[in-house]
């Protein structure tokens, strides 16, 4: 990234407005993330956070809210209800014909699906806010090992106000995300998650430097930069399938005759498989902590899955990431639909017949491309645990697994959007 190119972006009036607009909304988002919900004892919350800060379950829960959830702030639920609703609608599109029809209707159909996503988001936010506040009102339930009364007055009126405030906070975050997408820079929801994650970087770096010393801090930076470079390399990698469009007459005009390609990324699933696998593995741990069970299976879960570093945990984590990678790619990229669209507009892959042979070829390439992509995702999620665990940094460090993939992915996407807008104005951009 060139300093002169960044200066050119700020000197461009409309692009400067977009960048400043995005920064302003992100500042409001972070302000709401630390603003306590009415009825919460802020001092008691801080004492309880100090008790559970090293617990891997709470680290996962707190990841996407930038520390807002455990503080029971106005934006405590973060963007997760919207992400969950989006994933639910995406999965239902495969099994519900009405949603599949809307998806194929272009912009009008997508607007309708977006409206359904908003409704589901509000419903999920109400359920999640109710569940979290129900746990928080009982000392020791939300924060295992901390018996502080984080909600001193648990009357029905106070509880209702807290639920309404948290649900409204989710609606505001959803609005912020859509505003950033429409009038700012980058994908709004992704940028909000990116902001939540990087908000914890200064505290984590300071913790490593204070607890482990300068040498461990320097080694952590080196390992982190090496992992980031590897992630950037693979995230940019793609297999380009050449597509040729035949010439055709429409009236008196000749159309077609052009060449293009279908870009199939090595990691087409993105970070979704890692999120799914993490959530699935932490469900039994969370269940054990909330119920306080001392059964034999509960002890096994705490010993093997609760630390986030055991052999059983890492093996299951890796296997689930590979599984969800194939699963997610299979429902998001349909070779049959792509082949039908190519045939409809006179497109074909050189050497492959249009129609069913094209769909079979695309499926063949995609299946073999997903294999290294799934192994890459599993390695990125598991190997940093060994590296940072060996250095005594901890498995929940910012350069590990889910957070790293999101940071790099969103960063690259945002830079590309700014780069594209600069190139439209004949500037040299960020990259040569």
Q: Is the pLDDT of residue 238 over 60?
A: yes
Query: Can you tell me the distance from the alpha carbon of 350 to that of 368, in angstroms, rounded to the nearest whole number?
Result: 20
Query: Quick one: DSSP state of residue 143?
Result: S
On whether the CB atoms of residues 74 and 42 are closer than 8 A, the answer is: no
On whether the CB atoms of residues 366 and 335 are closer than 8 A, the answer is: yes
pLDDT for 412 equals 81
- Provide the pLDDT confidence category of residue 392 given band limits of 50, 70 and 90: low
pLDDT for 85 equals 86
Q: Is the pLDDT of residue 211 over 80?
A: no
pTM above 0.85, yes or no: no
Least confident range from 172-181, 277-286, 301-310: namely 301-310
Q: Which residue has the higher pLDDT, 3 or 126?
A: 126
Q: Which residue has the higher pLDDT, 408 or 207?
A: 408
Q: Is the pLDDT of residue 328 over 70?
A: yes
**Helix H segments across 184-255?**
188-198, 201-212, 214-236
pLDDT for 170 equals 92
pLDDT for 118 equals 92
- Provide the pLDDT confidence category of residue 289 given band limits of 50, 70 and 90: low
Residues 6+ apart with CB under 8 A from 429: 5, 418, 419, 422, 423
- Give the SS3 label for residue 187: coil
Q: Is the pLDDT of residue 276 over 60?
A: yes
DSSP letter string, 383-431: HHHHHHHHTTS-TT-TTSHHHHHHHHHHHHHHHHHHHHHHHHTT---S-
Query: Can you tell me the distance from the alpha carbon of 204 to that of 62, in angstroms, rounded to the nearest whole number?
Result: 14
What would the mean pLDDT of 337-349 be, rounded to a whole number? 83
pLDDT for 336 equals 87
On whether the CB atoms of residues 238 and 333 are closer than 8 A, the answer is: no
Query: Can you tell me the distance from the alpha carbon of 283 to that of 58, in angstroms, rounded to the nearest whole number?
Result: 12
Least confident range from 47-56, 90-99, 110-119, 179-188: namely 47-56
Summarize pLDDT for 3-12 with one digit per residue, the tens: 555 666 677 7
Summarize pLDDT for 26-82 with one digit per residue, the tens: 999 988 888 888 888 888 888 887 776 655 555 656 666 666 777 888 888 888 888
Least confident range from 42-56, 180-194, 259-273: namely 42-56
- Provide the pLDDT confidence category of residue 205 given band limits of 50, 70 and 90: confident
């Amino acid at each position: 990234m060139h300093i002169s190119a960044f200066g050119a972006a700020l000197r461009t009036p409309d692009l400067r407005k977009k960048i400043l607009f995005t920064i302003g909304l992100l500042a409001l988002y972070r302000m709401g993330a630390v603003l306590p919900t009415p009825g919460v004892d802020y001092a008691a919350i801080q004492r309880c956070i100090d008790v559970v800060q090293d617990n891997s379950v709470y680290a996962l829960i707190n990841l996407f809210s930038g520390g807002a959830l455990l503080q029971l702030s106005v934006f405590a639920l973060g963007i997760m209800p919207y992400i969950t609703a989006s994933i639910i609608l995406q999965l239902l599109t495969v099994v519900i014909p009405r949603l599949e029809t809307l998806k194929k209707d272009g912009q009008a159909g997508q607007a309708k699906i977006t409206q359904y996503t908003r409704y589901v988001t509000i419903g999920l936010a109400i359920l999640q806010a109710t569940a979290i506040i129900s746990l928080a009102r009982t000392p020791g339930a939300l924060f295992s090992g901390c018996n502080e009364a984080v909600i001193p007055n648990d009357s029905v009126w106070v509880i209702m106000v807290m639920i309404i405030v948290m649900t409204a906070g989710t609606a505001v975050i959803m609005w912020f995300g859509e505003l950033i997408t429409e009038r700012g820079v980058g994908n709004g929801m992704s940028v909000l998650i990116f902001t939540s994650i990087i908000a914890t970087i200064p505290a984590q770096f300071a913790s490593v430097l204070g607890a482990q010393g300068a040498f461990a801090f320097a080694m952590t930076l080196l390992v982190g930069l090496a992992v980031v470079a590897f992630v950037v390399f693979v995230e940019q990698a793609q297999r380009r399938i050449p597509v040729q469009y035949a010439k055709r007459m429409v009236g008196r005009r000749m159309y077609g005759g052009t060449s293009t390609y279908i870009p199939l990324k090595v990691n087409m699933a993105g970070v979704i498989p890692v999120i799914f696998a993490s959530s699935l593995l932490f469900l039994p741990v969370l269940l054990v902590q909330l119920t306080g069970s001392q059964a034999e299976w509960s002890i096994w879960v705490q010993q093997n899955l609760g630390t986030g570093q055991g052999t059983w945990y890492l093996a299951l984590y890796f296997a689930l990431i590979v599984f969800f990678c194939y699963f997610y790619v299979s429902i998001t990229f349909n070779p049959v639909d792509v082949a039908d669209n190519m045939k409809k507009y006179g497109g074909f892959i050189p050497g492959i017949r249009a129609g069913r042979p094209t769909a079979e070829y695309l499926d063949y390439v995609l299946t073999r491309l997903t294999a290294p992509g799934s192994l890459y995702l599993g390695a990125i999620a598991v190997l940093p645990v060994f590296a940072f665990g060996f250095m005594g940094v901890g498995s929940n460090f910012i350069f590990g697994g889910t957070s790293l993939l999101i940071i790099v992915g969103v960063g690259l996407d945002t830079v590309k959007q700014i780069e594209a807008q600069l190139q439209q104005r004949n500037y040299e951009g960020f990259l040569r």
